[in-house]
């Protein structure tokens, strides 16, 4: 069991890091030949950074679009963010200040995440328009996240696992040393699902996380008259002409 | 005027009614396919040839490598549905494939099949499809039910712009020999004659002379409409509709009066007698560039110092956002002015500096509202501040008419609806679509017409003007209720001391 998970998490981490790295490299490498920010758009780079921050942190556009959906999404994402930060303690020998700070929020955050996911799933099943655009993979993704959240919450609230041993396993893994992992069924399911999530991340719609920052409608300054924007392949067309 | 289809019933704007899904409602709506005579002059194959599937996928791969927007937008949609009730064509037709996410998925499903691991391994799970004739026809029909207005891109939490996707789809279809007649025929005319309407130079000169006489008769002032004048200060590039029909031509008279009153020498050009650039509609960079280069050539040939664009929405997007890229650098023009400038920037500046005088009594009795033209609102800017594209037209209007009432806030500025005719769908065979796509805008007009007695809708786009004059009567409004901002300036401007 321990060996299986040691291998699984090594594979999952490599897939996540390399897969995501390749995708980000692809986005960064692909030119944006034209200025296409959705206007009104910021005129300066700090302005663009602020716009992206608003999109990433408070989901500005989604707020304009749909208030209930914004609440559901915020519940899930903020909950997830806190839970993720809290999980850093499984990878640190000394618990850092940020992790300590969110410690009391752990339970409400987990709950928010769970409720958010249930609302998002319910919405997909109930609303005709959303049911129409929902594919099997969209449902599976929510089920996967729900599985992770439910098993995690159960371990926090009811069926405790040996968290010290879990921590030892992961800190050990970071130093390429295999330490034994508790065999509790809930933990096994939890970790299995997390590993699956890590593996599918670079191949799925979860790419929206890094992708947002490469979205030309959001990350460009509105300065086409002031600065000539010319990508490499477009510049080559000019060489041909003159 | 009996229509072969029903005009939708207008609802309450505030209710934000979302139609129940009518699957397949618009499946048969499609524009005419371009013939070889429209395709070949643009360098596209005349007809769909054997092996087009492979060619389509090849072109898709090329575009994915050339456009970051396309590559990123293919990957990052989470199907949250924030866009599902934002497109005027969905709101007007109820056809689910007119929801932006579903429209994009027509393209994305093919992308997944050929370009992603998940789609190659488990096509059923992620909704990946092979490129077949059935898929192609669906593309043709539904990517010509998108006006590339970018309203969806305002609301998408990841900034996905369906316009980029429908442009790519149209580019691919052109490349394999299934182009759209309307756009490609018009682009052919631009290359051959110089403008979208195919007005030859002698006809143009004739029209301008006639207009000069009309203005003289009406005002007693010899306002000129110069063309091909070497050494003029300003080159005015305006949509060819401005030379052709009302209400467009009233705007052109307005520009001429402003230049006259300001004492700025200007000229039109027979070489660049068209502001519109349909190269954008078909998503083809080379065409867009070729059409743009006419303006550079005209500016160089005439030795002008500034370039100003007339009222035209998509034209202004290409001009403002792309012209510097496509046809720049503009180092031979006067560096004190932005290149290009919008006629409204020019007029507004004159008003602010008291360079021209406006008398609102010329527009007595007018209660006016503004339809923000979509490509100006979300694809461009005016002035030196974000949002100038909303304030500058309104400032000019306020200076010209006694009363301005804005429509419902969900239907103006960045949230404005497309008129229903933009992006290459302004063709008669798509009238059903255009009529239904105009629904949200008509609802918003009706609200202010009933409540505030609004009797005129101002817009800054040739396509909007053509579309409104066509669809307004179906909804029980007067055709003459729509017109450009410079049409209002024209009737308010005080023309010096000649009288």
| Tens-digit pLDDT string for chain A (242 aa) | 899 999 999 999 999 999 999 999 999 999 999 999 999 999 999 999 999 999 999 999 999 999 999 999 999 999 999 999 999 999 988 888 999 999 899 999 999 999 999 999 999 999 999 999 999 999 999 999 999 999 999 999 889 999 999 999 999 999 999 999 999 999 999 999 999 999 999 999 999 999 999 999 999 999 999 999 999 999 999 876 55
Residue A50 neighbours by CB under 8 Å, 6+ apart:
A42
- Assigned architecture for domain A42-198: Up-down Bundle (1.20)
A140 at interface of B, judged by CB pairs closer than 8 A: yes
Q: Which residues pair with B358 in a beta bridge?
A: B493
Q: What are phi and psi of B15, to 5 degrees?
A: -70, -25
Contacts of B20 in chain A (CB under 8 A): 128
pLDDT (tens digit per residue) in B256-299: 999 999 999 999 999 999 999 999 999 999 999 999 999 999 99
Contacts of A36 in chain B (CB under 8 A): 69, 161, 164, 321, 379
Evaluate if residue B1 carries a pLDDT over 50: no
Contacts of B374 in chain A (CB under 8 A): none
Residue of B nearest to A200 (CA): B118
Angle between helices B388-400 and B343-352 (to 10 degrees): 60
pLDDT (tens digit per residue) in B181-227: 999 999 999 999 999 999 999 999 999 999 999 999 999 999 999 99
Residue of B nearest to A54 (CA): B157
CB B269 within 8 A of CB B136: no
Overall average pLDDT of the B29-36 stretch = 98
B335 at interface of A, judged by CB pairs closer than 8 A: no
CB B53 within 8 A of CB B177: no
B18 at interface of A, judged by CB pairs closer than 8 A: yes
For strands B493-494 and B357-358, give the pairing: antiparallel
B105 at interface of A, judged by CB pairs closer than 8 A: yes
Residue A240 pLDDT: 66
- Of B48, B51, B49, B70, the closest CA to residue B61 belongs to B70
Q: Do B322 and A140 touch (CB under 8 A)?
A: no
Cα separation, B372 vs B354, in Å, equals 26
Three-state SS annotation for A193-225: HHHHHHHHHHHCHHHHHHHHHHCHHHHCCCCCC
Q: Which residue ranges make up each domain of chain A? A: 42-198
Cα separation, B55 vs A170, in Å, equals 49
Cα separation, B104 vs B99, in Å, equals 9
**3-class secondary-structure state, position A175:** coil
Angle between helices B201-219 and B248-262 (to 10 degrees): 70
CA distances from B94 to A127, B20, B84, B196, B424 (A): 14, 6, 11, 32, 21
Of A26, A31, A61, nearest to B155 by CB-CB distance is A61
* Residue of A57, A125, A129 for testing the chain B interface, max B β-carbons within 10 Å: A129
């Amino acid at each position: 069991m321990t060996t299986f998970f040691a291998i699984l998490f090594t594979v999952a981490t490599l897939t996540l890091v390399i897969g995501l790295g390749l995708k980000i490299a692809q986005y960064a490498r692909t030119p944006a030949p034209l200025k296409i920010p959705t206007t009104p758009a910021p005129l300066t780079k700090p302005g663009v950074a602020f716009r992206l921050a608003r999109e990433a942190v408070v989901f500005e556009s989604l707020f304009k679009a749909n208030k209930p959906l914004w609440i559901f999404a915020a519940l899930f994402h903020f909950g997830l963010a806190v839970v993720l930060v809290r999980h850093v303690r499984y990878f640190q020998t000394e618990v850092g200040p940020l992790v300590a700070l969110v410690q009391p929020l752990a339970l409400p955050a987990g709950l928010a995440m769970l409720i958010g996911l249930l609302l998002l799933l319910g919405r997909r099943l109930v609303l005709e328009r959303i049911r129409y655009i929902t594919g099997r993979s969209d449902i599976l993704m929510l089920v996967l996240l729900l599985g992770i959240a439910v098993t995690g919450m159960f371990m926090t609230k009811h069926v405790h696992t040996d968290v010290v041993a879990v921590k030892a396993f992961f800190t050990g893994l970071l130093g390429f040393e295999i330490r034994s992992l508790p065999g509790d069924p809930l933990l096994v399911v939890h970790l299995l699902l997390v590993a699956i999530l890590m593996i599918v991340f670079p191949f799925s719609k979860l790419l929206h996380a890094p992708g947002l920052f490469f979205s030309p409608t959001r990350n460009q300054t509105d300065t086409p008259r002031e600065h000539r924007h010319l990508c490499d392949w477009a510049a080559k067309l000019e060489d041909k002409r003159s | 005027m009996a229509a072969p289809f029903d005009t939708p019933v207008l609802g309450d704007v505030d209710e934000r009614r979302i139609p129940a899904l009518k699957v397949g409602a618009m499946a048969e709506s499609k524009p005419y396919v371009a013939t070889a005579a429209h395709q070949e002059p643009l360098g596209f194959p005349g007809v769909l040839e054997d092996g087009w599937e492979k060619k389509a996928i090849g072109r898709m791969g090329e575009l994915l490598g050339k456009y970051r927007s396309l590559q990123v937008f293919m990957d990052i949609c989470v199907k949250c549905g924030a866009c599902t009730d934002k497109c005027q064509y969905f709101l007007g037709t109820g056809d689910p494939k007119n929801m932006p996410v579903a429209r994009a998925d027509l393209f994305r499903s093919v992308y997944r099949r050929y370009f992603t691991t998940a789609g190659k391994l488990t096509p059923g799970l992620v909704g990946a499809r092979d490129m077949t004739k059935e898929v192609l026809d669906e593309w043709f029909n539904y990517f010509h039910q998108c006006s590339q207005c970018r309203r969806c891109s305002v609301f998408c939490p990841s900034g996905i712009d369906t316009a980029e996707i429908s442009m790519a789809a149209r580019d691919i279809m052109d490349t394999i020999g299934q182009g759209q007649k309307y756009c490609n025929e018009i682009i052919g005319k631009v290359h051959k004659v110089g403008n979208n309407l195919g007005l030859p130079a002698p006809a143009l000169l004739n029209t301008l002379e006639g207009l000069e006489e009309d203005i003289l008769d009406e005002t007693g002032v010899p306002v000129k409409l110069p063309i091909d004048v070497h050494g003029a200060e300003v080159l005015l590039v305006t949509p060819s509709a401005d030379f052709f029909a009302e209400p467009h031509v009233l705007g052109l008279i307005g520009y001429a009066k402003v230049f006259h009153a300001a004492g700025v020498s200007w000229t039109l050009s027979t070489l660049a007698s068209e502001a519109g650039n349909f190269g954008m509609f078909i998503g083809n960079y080379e065409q867009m560039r070729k059409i743009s280069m006419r303006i550079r050539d005209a500016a160089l040939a005439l030795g002008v110092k500034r370039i100003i664009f007339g009222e035209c929405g998509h034209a202004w997007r290409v001009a403002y956002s792309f012209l510097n890229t496509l046809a720049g650098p503009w180092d031979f023009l006067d560096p004190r002015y932005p290149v290009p400038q919008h006629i409204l920037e020019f007029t507004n500046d004159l008003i602010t500096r008291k360079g021209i005088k406006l008398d609102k009594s010329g527009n007595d009795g007018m209660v006016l509202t503004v339809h923000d033209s979509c490509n100006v609102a979300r694809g461009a800017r005016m002035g030196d501040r974000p949002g100038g594209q909303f304030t500058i037209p309104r400032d000019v209007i306020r200076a010209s008419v006694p009363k301005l009432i804005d429509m419902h806030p969900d239907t103006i500025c960045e949230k404005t609806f497309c008129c229903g005719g933009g992006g290459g769908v302004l063709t008669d065979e798509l009238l059903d679509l255009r009529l239904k796509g105009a629904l949200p805008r008509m609802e918003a007009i009706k609200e202010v017409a009933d409540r505030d007695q609004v009797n005129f809708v101002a817009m800054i786009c040739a396509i909007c003007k053509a579309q409104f004059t066509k669809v307004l009567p179906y909804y029980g409004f007067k055709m003459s209720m729509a017109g450009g901002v410079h049409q209002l300036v024209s009737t308010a401007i005080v023309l010096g001391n000649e009288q």
